[in-house]
Amino acid sequence: MCGIVGYLGNRQATDVLVDGLSKLEYRGYDSAGVAVNNGKNELEIRKFQGRLAVLAEDLEKNPIKGHLGIGHTRWATHGVPSDVNSHPHFNKEKTIAVVHNGIIENYLELKAELQAEGYEFISQTDTEVVPNLIDYYFTSDKSQNTIEKFLRAVKNAVSDLK
């Protein structure tokens, strides 16, 4: 079973995320990952097959500084356990990252529609359609208000998911 942790605050996000994910280890998982906004309006993403300790060791050696992030432990439902299939999944520009529990029943249909629009996919997971679908709606919206535009894109993407 998967575990999801999010953080926004004054502490370093990776410390909180790894600590939170460690409390969910009893659920079982095959990989772990985080996406953290590094304060430069960029996401740094680290994800690894295996135990949470692999991710924690990497973050200790190569820290990500930032106060906003998401973390995930995955139990494979789509795609074999691997670094690439681990969560978080992201759009091409790595400006949108998503973690997800469950199954997206219509992901093959959505993936085909996005591929027809030029989107490329690197994983075997259903979740990867979500950040790309949000990206599609976001870039298709010509309004100027970024926050409203993003919220509309998320709402439209979620309404497409089954």
29-86: per-residue pLDDT in tens?
999 999 999 988 789 999 999 999 999 999 999 999 999 999 999 988 888 889 999 9
Asked whether the CA dihedral 71, 76, 79, 80 is positive or negative, the reply is positive
- pLDDT number for residue 28: 82
State pTM to two decimals: 0.93
Contacts of 40-48 spanning 24+ positions with Cβ under 8 A: 42/94, 42/95, 43/90, 43/94, 43/95, 43/96, 43/97, 45/88, 45/90, 45/94, 45/97, 47/72, 47/83, 47/86, 47/87, 47/88, 48/83, 48/86
Mean pLDDT (the chain) is 95
- pLDDT number for residue 78: 83
- pLDDT number for residue 27: 81
Helix (H, G, I), strand (E, B) or coil at 23: coil
Side-chain half-sphere exposure of 160, counting CA atoms within 13 A:
22
Q: Give the closest residue to 54 by CA, choosing from 86, 96, 98.
A: 86
- pLDDT number for residue 1: 66
- pLDDT number for residue 153: 98
Residue predicted with more confidence, 143 or 69: 69
- pLDDT number for residue 42: 80
